[in-house]
Amino acid sequence: MRAVAADPADRETAPGRVSMSAFNRLRAHVDRARGITDADHPERTPTAEAIHLRFNKDAGRKVSWREIVGGALREDPTMWLAALGREPEQLVPPEVVVYALRRVASALGVSVLGREAYRERRAALIATDRELFGEDGLLEQTLPTVNQIEGQYGFADACQMAGLGGARAMLTVEAAAARRASPPPPQPVGLPAPVAMALYAALNDKWPSRDTLRAFAAASGFTLASVKGLDWEAAMAEAGEMLQAEGVTAPELVRAKPNGRGRRLTFRAPVEMPPGAPRRTERRPRNHQSLSEGLTGTEIERLRRGDPALWAARHELYLIALRVWLDGLSARDRRSRLAYIAWRRGTAWPAPNGFDRDDHGGFTALRDEASRLNAAERRRGRAAVPAELLNRARELQAQLRPADAPPVRSDASARAAEVFEFGTALRAVLAGECREVQR
């Protein structure tokens, strides 16, 4: 290779940039200078392709032609040739990773393991192992570093593989148990679409479209069940049968036609809500919802205005959530709002919507404050998220759970006792006062 690179027959080729075609062209000149003219001579210079194939066969990795040229032109290629013969770095076996994570978690007495906690306890275990056994200690080889685990498996995935929940999932099991223990309050069941369609048809002598039926329910003051995916023809047929059973002639079973551009639809709706129908309620923003039943009016009103103690509890919980999230990130992970949303999905950690409300400062300000708190803990020689911080998060969740519960109206039991009877409702609507509504 050196002889070809230095051959005067091709002065235009730089020594370090000898191509395979140039090498094949010049090797005959070199062989003649060596006194070899027989093409079958055992010491003739091999072709570039043969050299490249031989290196890639013997080396522990793929070797480019340019690298072969560079290695041949080294003053002493011995170390380079020895490095080529080494086997590629082996991955840490998964069973070793599982053992290491469980070993460190057992030493810490925790079931939740973070990067910093693993790194610090691993160093302490290796130091103790060296002190006890000297050069015969084995923990340095059996406990891989955080970087090895992160690079080969991902630390969070490795923890899942070892049966250890990350801090992200700290409240997930408890939250699921709490939901099973206290089922959500009963939600108002809307009036079925065929029933509402029958009431509309009895007053207007025609069938409504989906949008018109929703407008009719709003104007009449009752809640309409979802009509998404409903077979409209089948619903009209059912409504027609209900009217026929009550002695009311049903309109012809045809869909409502568009009114045309610029024309507004007018329909009749009852002034009084049909008796027994679920009452329509207006939704309010979540941060203005009242507590569940059991609190006095004064307490509910204070929470609507904003309770300083609840504000402080939410602010503290927001910071803890962000601290746990930040502590589990590697240097290359994103620290954006979307990254936090993806991290907390499926857990009981708070959504970032509340970060922007009630002067909490917003996502960026809270994230930066949480980062400073983690850094301060590390400067003190402690884990960024100690176990007591996770216990505090549980306390705050329990404190805030009643305040963040969906509202339950005081007349819920009275409404639940009402029974809707179509015949009664139909007679009341037909006999009662109606009004014209435009949409």
Candidates 222, 232, 234, 228; CA nearest to 190 is 222
Per-residue confidence (pLDDT) for residue 282, from 0 to 100: 52
What is the pLDDT, as a whole number, of residue 14? 53
Q: pLDDT exceeding 70 applies to what percent of the chain?
A: 74
- Give the model confidence (pLDDT) of 148-199 as tens digits: 888 788 888 888 888 876 555 544 444 544 544 555 444 556 889 999 999 9
Is pLDDT above 90 for 407?
no
pLDDT at 409 over 50: no
Across residues 409-437, what is the average pLDDT? 72
Burial class (CB in 10 A: 0-12, 13-18, 19+), 167: buried
Band of pLDDT at residue 288, cut at 50, 70 and 90: very low
C-alpha torsion 52→56→57→60, nearest 10: 160
Reported as a pLDDT band with limits 50, 70 and 90, residue 320 is: very high
Three-state DSSP at 434 gives strand
Q: 367 pLDDT exceeds 90?
A: yes
Q: Check residue 301 and give its pLDDT.
A: 46
Give me the mean pLDDT over the 242-262 stretch. Answer: 76
The pair of structure tokens assigned to 16 is: 């370090």
* pLDDT tens per residue, range 34-90: 888 887 787 888 888 888 888 777 665 677 888 888 777 777 777 777 666 654 455
Residue 368: pLDDT band by 50, 70, 90 thresholds? very high
Residue 284: its pLDDT value, please? 43
Residue 103 structure tokens: 């070993």
For 375-379, what is the mean pLDDT? Answer: 89
Q: Could you please report the per-residue DSSP string of 55-87? A: HHHHSSS---HHHHHHHHTSS-THHHHHHHTSP
Of 93 and 82, the structure prediction assigns the larger pLDDT to 93
Query: What is the residue-averaged pLDDT of the chain?
Result: 77
Return the residue matching tokens 């003649």: 32
* pLDDT in the model for residue 402: 67
Residue 293's nearest CA partner among 182, 417, 396 is 182
Q: 258 or 34: whose pLDDT is higher?
A: 34
> Cβ distance 170 to 324 under 8 Å?
yes
Q: Can you tell me whether residue 220 is helix, strand or coil?
A: helix
- The confidence score (pLDDT) of residue 176 equals 46
Residue type, 276: G
415 has pLDDT over 60: no
Q: Phi first, then psi: what are they for 112, rounded to 5°?
A: -125, 125
Q: What is the pLDDT of residue 292?
A: 36
| Minimum mean pLDDT range among 88-92, 269-273, 284-288 | 284-288
% of the chain exceeding 90 in pLDDT: 11
pLDDT band at 16 (very low <50, low <70, confident <90, very high): low
**Contact indicator for 373, 340 with CB cutoff of 8 Å:** no
What predicted TM-score, i.e. pTM, was given to this entire model? 0.35
**Looking at residues 258-282, what average pLDDT do you find?**
77
Task: Say how far apart CA 156 and CA 162 lie, in whole Å.
Answer: 10
Q: Token match 């009449």: residue?
A: 220
Confidence class for position 369, pLDDT limits 50, 70, 90:
very high
Which tokens is 23 given? Answer: 């090498």
What are the tokens at 108? 């810490």
- Which letter does DSSP use for residue 291 in this model? P
DSSP 35: T
Residue 36 pLDDT: 83
Q: Where are the alpha helices (DSSP H) in 109-154?
A: 115-133, 139-142, 146-152
Higher pLDDT pick, 154 / 299: 154
Q: Which residues pair with 279 in a beta bridge?
A: 222
Neighbours of 414 (CB within 10 A): 9
Position 294 confidence tier, pLDDT thresholds 50, 70, 90: very low
The predicted-structure confidence for 100-140, as pLDDT tens digits, reads as follows 998 898 888 877 788 888 989 999 999 888 888 877 778 88
- Band (pLDDT 50/70/90 cuts) for residue 319 is very high
